[in-house]
Structure 1
């Protein structure tokens, strides 16, 4: 799905949150690879599950067309500095929810980019009848967990010894979810089913 672009200024930096376009494919491929090398908070090591520009272009096309997918970028002028993705589940019993993932270049941490990507995703989800947003976060990433809680996410559980990082130790993953306040859906397809993630 596509959302309108909107500019944001934080700590003197102006950036735009907008839907990804096919012209972003090459930058997104490079940014994703760089982010994977800057933090161990994500699932991949640099180069793992690599998406080249052609694969990203296809992903952008798919996410633009599917009503429960959303691929956003944060750009400073013409440079992409972060992105997020909501991926819908298209089985009827699970179609009320999406899975969220986000990544921001380390150089641009501290400007609220991840928060604004998530807030835009929440606004989109609430407007489009999505009842639940799910995400996973490394248990040691306390700053992210606090942000998610401020934006309405709840801890749903812990995956014990879920990841092994470069120090050879195992770390837990916290499973979190945000539930739409009214618990209802607006779309008939979603109502029928009512009772990861970054690419």
Structure 2
């Protein structure tokens, strides 16, 4: 699915949120690799589950053509600095929901980029008959958890000792969801 681009000005920074296009594939491949190396909040370590340019081209093509998928990018001065995806499940019993994921370069935290990617995704879901958005978040990512709660997400469950981080300790994954009547 494609949405209209939106412009934002937050804390002195101008940026645009728009649907991903095929020409974004190279930048997205590089960006994802960089972001994976900047934080332990995501599922992957740097270089794991690498997606190359053709891989991103296929994801963008699928998400553009599919009414239950949405792939957004955040752009600052023609540079992609973050992205989010909503991916639908096409089994009939799960056709009412999508899974949300988001990542933003660390240098661009604090400008509302993740919040606005989420806001645009929630708005899209609400206007396209999607009844539920789900997501997973690391238990120590307090800012993200609070943001999700502000958008109506609630904790649905906890996967105990789900991840091992660089300190060698186990951490829980929190499963959150937002349901629309």
TM-score bucket of the superposed structures, by smaller chain: over 0.9
Name 2:98's counterpart in structure 1.
Answer: 98
Higher relative contact order, structure no. (Cα contacts within 8 Å, ≥ 6 residues apart) = 1
Tell me, in whole angstroms, the C-alpha distance in 1 between the residues paired with 2:177 and 2:141: 16
Write the distance in 1 (CA, Å) between the matches of 2:106 and 2:81. 9
Moved over 3 A (4+): none
Give TM-score, length-normalised by structure 2: 0.99
Q: CA deviation at 1:84?
A: 0.2
Structure 1 residues 58-137: aligned runs within 5 Å: 58-137=58-137
Where 2:60 maps in the other structure, the secondary structure is: helix
| Alpha-carbon separation, structure 2, partners of 1:102 and 1:69 | 14
Alpha-carbon RMSD: 0.5
* Equivalent in the alignment of 1:177: 177
Aligned position for 1:152: 152
- Alpha-carbon distance in structure 1 between the residues aligned to 2:46 and 2:135: 21
1:101-159 alpha-carbon deviations (Å, 9 max, x no partner): 00000000000000000000000000000000000000011111000000110010110
Structure 2 unpaired stretches of 5+:
none
Question: Does residue 1:27 correspond to 2:27, yes or no?
Answer: yes
TM-aligned CA deviation for residue 77 of structure 1: 1.9
Alpha-carbon distance between aligned partners in 2 of 1:30 and 1:61, rounded to the nearest angstrom: 18
